[in-house]
Amino acid sequence: MPRTTRRTTRPTAAASAGFTALLLAGLAALTGCSGGDGADGPDRGFAGALPGRAPAGASPTPTPTPPPTGPYVALGDSYTAGPRIAPQVGEPGGCGRSGVNYPSLLAKALVLAPGQFRDVSCSGARTGDLKAPQQTDGGPNPAQLEALTPATRLVTLGIGGNDAGFMQVVTECAKDTLVDAVKDLVGGDRAAAPCREHYASGGTDEVRARVDAAGGKVAEVLQEVRRRSPQARVYVIGYPALLPADPAACVPVLGTTVAAADLAFLTEKEQQLNAMLKQRAEAAGAVFVDTAGPSAGHDMCAGEDTRWIEPPFPAHGLTPVHPNARGEEGVAAAVLKAVRG
């Protein structure tokens, strides 16, 4: 995919304004966000194999479960769909599904026939859009759960970020950064972490509360998946790392106007989101696939040839703060590892 060279340093208040404006423009229609992977535990989903009978005196050894052969249904939001990653396929066009998103790459790796794979993911999807039609610029996307049948044998689910309002949090942090930079220009006192103060003032962690509330909705979806496809192996896909462990690594990309403490705050909130997904997956008997670990070092502040997530100033034609084609490949590899066990 052709890429253009991006500008790197935005250390001024004016750059903060650009950072904010681009986030608002790029995320307005999408609002889709992102523990150990499935290989760390029993790869059983909702219908795993039972351990085989071991000889007397020997330790029981689980019988390997062969990879599923389909039908496979992919459910999820924009981090699953792959908006603006060429080629864009399927209907409605407003969902922004890529022909090389991780579900498509997984289906190819499993050598599934076209009739054995359905990708119904859609940018902007919340858990409610899995149960009812979702309106998009290209027309309605049918309720995603309607793609499931008793014959379905593999399900991947990438959802929850929009319910928790994660992209709104990212955008709000950009706004708070801009306001704080303006204060600095007029001689006011700057906050050490304006975004953290915005969401956690008064002793209440608003973002954590949103994540916890989203957890209940994810649990309901997993129950419905089990009801509709009781023999399916189900994998809940976590969100890849947006930011590096060391906020200083983001200075060349985001500039010094973005408070390091706020970058740490966003990382903390994403970790809470993934922890919630892991807990809900395990409680439902599904497998959680960690993508934050494999994506370490491939965050939005990594080099253009390395990153899995595009920064606020993305490569030409791609979506800010969303996976690129390399990111979809990386997530596909993590999911395939979990599926194969």
Task: State the pLDDT confidence band at 341, using cuts at 50, 70 and 90.
Answer: confident
Classify domain 13-48+65-340 by CATH number.
3.40.50.1110
Share of the chain above pLDDT 70, in %: 75
Contact between 300 and 22 (Cβ < 8 Å) = no
Q: What is the mean pLDDT of residues 184-213?
A: 75
Sheet bearing 154-158, strands edge to edge? 117-119, 72-76, 154-158, 233-237, 287-289
Give dist(CA 70, CA 224) in Å, integer.
19
pLDDT of residue 216: 97
pLDDT of residue 192: 67
Give dist(CA 26, CA 82) in Å, integer.
14
Does residue 305 register a pLDDT over 90?
yes
Q: What is the mean pLDDT of residues 185-212?
A: 75
Q: Quick one: tokens of 140?
A: 């309605």
Give dist(CA 286, CA 144) in Å, integer.
18
Give dist(CA 255, CA 238) in Å, integer.
28
Q: What is the mean pLDDT of residues 110-138?
A: 96
SS (H, E, C) the chain: CCCCCCCCCCCCHHHHHHHHHHHHHHHCCCCCCCCCCHHHCCCCCCCCCCCCCCCCCCCCCCCCCCCCCCCEEEEECHHHHCCCCCCECCCCHHHCCECCCHHHHHHHHCCCCHHHEEECCCCCCCCHHHHCCEEECCEEECCHHHHCCCCCCEEEEECCCCCCCHHHHHHHHHHHHHHHHHHHHCCCCCCCCHHHHHHHHHHCCHHHHHHHHHHHHHHHHHHHHHHHCCCCEEEEECCCCCCCCCHHHHHHHHCCCCCHHHHHHHHHHHHHHHHHHHHHHHHCCCEEECCCCCCCCCCCCCCCCCCCECCCCCCCCCCCCCECHHHHHHHHHHHHHHHHC
Q: Identify the residue with better confidence: 248 or 92.
A: 92
pLDDT of residue 304: 93
pLDDT of residue 288: 98
Radius of gyration, CA atoms only, the chain:
21
Give the Cα-Cα-Cα angle 324, 77, 81 (nearest 5 degrees). 45
Q: Which residues are catalytic?
A: 78, 322
pLDDT of residue 22: 43
Q: What is the mean pLDDT of residues 171-180?
A: 65
Least confident piece of the model among 40-44, 276-280, 318-322, 335-339: 40-44
Phi-psi region of 190 (alpha: psi -120 to 50; beta: other; left: phi over 0): beta
pLDDT of residue 107: 97
Q: Quick one: tokens of 210?
A: 């949103």
Does residue 28 register a pLDDT over 50?
no
C-alpha closest to that of 133 among 142, 125, 124:
142
Kindly list the distances between the CA atom of residue 73 and the CA atoms of 59, 136, 225, 301, in Å, as whole numbers in the listed order: 36, 20, 11, 32
pLDDT of residue 33: 43
Contact between 193 and 268 (Cβ < 8 Å) = no
Task: State the pLDDT confidence band at 16, using cuts at 50, 70 and 90.
Answer: very low
Does residue 67 register a pLDDT over 90?
no
Task: Kindly report, residue by residue over 125-136, the tens digit of the pLDDT.
Answer: 999 999 999 999
pLDDT of residue 120: 98
